[in-house]
């Protein structure tokens, strides 16, 4: 998890979550039980403990908490001839969950939770922990880490700027590409509200050039969002109803699936593979995965989230949508200015 929250110091909850995640990764990664000394060296937060006694207390609390969460942390002998020093590990076969059936409403809640987790930016500490394990020469169990799959943070690049415009009531300018148009057009708007509808973000606004209220889907905003006026320069209508305005324009998502073909790196894209109709081998590095999707923009977001491990091959609309998101991620992280 990111160690920053709004630019300040990490909270106690963030520090604890990072520590527990790293501990789980370390104990899942190894094929053999690890000593306390090894664990203290490999989990960054333990290495900053003031003393051995402080580490011992922290580790004991963490062990108990993981077990309370149902994570099968076990104690084993490191050396059968020397039983005075116990070792610790997590057995992958006990850690993995069996297939569980869910009702539609439960799946909806889990889907929302998974999007929040994916945006938590946990890939950094996880990758750091794995690098330390490899550097320490720990014998690894790669299969044990299936399911802990880092993704790029590919949230809508326009979100922060649009959110600020809504909160501060600042007029905005941006380029917007309608679904039927190949080129984006410049729009000048007074942002009224920002709302999530069927898993997508929409901006309700007054279009100054068209002199009418309009709804804009954030994923179709291209390039930077710029201010074009001062804060508080307009008022949101008292009778404005954000959900009703979006519902009239966006409606419900289509239930008719569309086919896609993806090139997926071997050992990656496990959630995509589980949804696939067929998986074909390309070479020693890549597989071709054939699957269906319901919404182009939402699926492009998922594909872009895998970074260089997944490449959209077909259809062309999906290829372009993924490319736009990756370019947006570069711009959002400042790489486009280099």
pLDDT band at 288 (very low <50, low <70, confident <90, very high): very high
- pLDDT number for residue 94: 67
- pLDDT number for residue 146: 45
| Under 8 Å between Cβ of 68 and 61 | no
- pLDDT number for residue 77: 80
Alpha-helical segments (H) within the chain: 12-29, 36-42, 44-47, 52-68, 92-95, 104-118, 123-135, 159-168, 242-250, 270-275, 296-304, 316-332
pLDDT band at 151 (very low <50, low <70, confident <90, very high): very low
Measured CA to CA, the distance from residue 181 to residue 187 in angstroms comes to: 14
Say which range, 15-24, 93-102, 126-135, has the weakest mean pLDDT: 126-135
What contacts 91, CB < 8 A, 6 or more positions away? 72, 74
Say which range, 42-51, 220-229, 231-240, has the weakest mean pLDDT: 42-51
- In terms of Cβ atoms closer than 10 Å to its own Cβ (0-12, 13-18, 19+), residue 249 is middle
Task: State the distance between the two ends of the chain, measured CA to CA, in whole angstroms.
Answer: 27
> Mean pLDDT throughout 104-131?
51
Instruction: Using the predicted structure, report yes or no on whether residue 263 has a pLDDT greater than 50.
Output: yes
pLDDT band at 317 (very low <50, low <70, confident <90, very high): confident
Share of the chain above pLDDT 90, in %: 19
Stronger pLDDT, 293 or 192, i.e. the higher one? 192
Q: Which domains does the chain have, with CATH numbers?
A: 12-145 (no CATH), 159-250 (2.30.30), 258-333 (no CATH)
- pLDDT number for residue 251: 63
| Under 8 Å between Cβ of 197 and 243 | yes
- Token pair for 32: 């053999």
194-221: pLDDT as tens digits: 888 776 788 999 999 999 999 998 888 8
Measured CA to CA, the distance from residue 71 to residue 94 in angstroms comes to: 8
- pLDDT number for residue 121: 40
Alpha-helical segments (H) within 208-255: 242-250
pTM score over 0.75: no
Q: What are phi and psi of 272, to 5 degrees?
A: -70, -40
Distances (CA, A) of 120 to 59, 117, 143, 232: 24, 5, 23, 32
Instruction: Using the predicted structure, report yes or no on whether residue 107 has a pLDDT greater than 60.
Output: no
> Mean pLDDT throughout 165-178?
91
Helix (H) or strand (E) holding 288: strand 286-293
Measured CA to CA, the distance from residue 319 to residue 275 in angstroms comes to: 19
> Mean pLDDT throughout 175-182?
77
- Token pair for 12: 């106690």
* Cα 101 from chain centroid (whole Å): 24
Measured CA to CA, the distance from residue 57 to residue 40 in angstroms comes to: 12
Instruction: Using the predicted structure, report yes or no on whether residue 153 has a pLDDT greater than 50.
Output: no
Greatest mean pLDDT among 29-33, 45-49, 52-56, 99-103 lies in 52-56
| Under 8 Å between Cβ of 262 and 285 | no
Share of the chain above pLDDT 70, in %: 70
Instruction: Using the predicted structure, report yes or no on whether residue 128 has a pLDDT greater than 90.
Output: no
235-257: pLDDT as tens digits: 999 999 988 898 888 765 555 78
Nearest to 232 by CA among 174, 166, 283, 286: 166
Measured CA to CA, the distance from residue 175 to residue 186 in angstroms comes to: 4
User: 307 by DSSP, 3-state: which?
Assistant: helix
């Amino acid at each position: 998890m990111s160690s920053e929250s709004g630019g300040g110091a990490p909270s106690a909850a963030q520090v604890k979550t990072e520590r527990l995640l790293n501990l789980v990764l370390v104990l899942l990664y190894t094929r053999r039980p690890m000593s306390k000394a090894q664990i203290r060296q490999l989990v960054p937060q333990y290495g900053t403990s003031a003393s051995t006694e402080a580490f011992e207390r922290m580790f004991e609390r963490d062990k108990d908490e993981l077990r309370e969460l149902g994570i099968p942390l076990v104690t084993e002998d490191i050396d059968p001839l020397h039983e005075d020093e116990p070792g610790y590990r997590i057995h992958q076969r006990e850690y993995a969950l069996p297939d569980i059936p869910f009702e539609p409403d439960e799946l909806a809640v889990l889907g929302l939770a998974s999007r929040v987790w994916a945006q938590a930016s946990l890939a950094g500490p996880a990758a750091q922990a794995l690098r330390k394990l490899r550097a320490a020469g720990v014998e690894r169990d790669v299969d044990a880490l299936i399911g802990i799959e880092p993704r790029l943070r590919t949230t809508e690049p326009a979100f922060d700027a649009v959110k600020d415009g809504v909160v501060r009531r600042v007029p905005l300018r941006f380029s917007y590409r309608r679904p039927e148009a190949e080129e984006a057009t410049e729009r000048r708007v007074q942002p009224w509200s920002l709302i999530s509808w069927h898993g997508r973000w929409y901006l309700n606004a007054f279009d100054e050039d068209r002199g009418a209220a309009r709804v804009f889907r954030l994923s179709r905003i291209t390039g930077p969002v710029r201010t074009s006026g001062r804060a508080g320069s307009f008022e949101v209508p008292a009778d404005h109803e954000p959900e009703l305005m979006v519902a009239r324009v966006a409606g419900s998502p289509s239930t008719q699936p569309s086919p896609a073909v993806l090139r997926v790196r071997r050992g990656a894209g496990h959630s995509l593979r589980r949804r696939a109709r067929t998986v074909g081998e390309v070479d020693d590095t890549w597989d071709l995965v054939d699957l269906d999707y319901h919404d182009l923009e939402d699926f492009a977001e998922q594909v872009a989230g895998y970074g260089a491990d997944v490449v959209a091959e077909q259809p062309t609309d999906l290829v372009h949508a993924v490319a736009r998101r990756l370019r947006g991620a570069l711009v959002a992280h400042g790489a486009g200015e280099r």
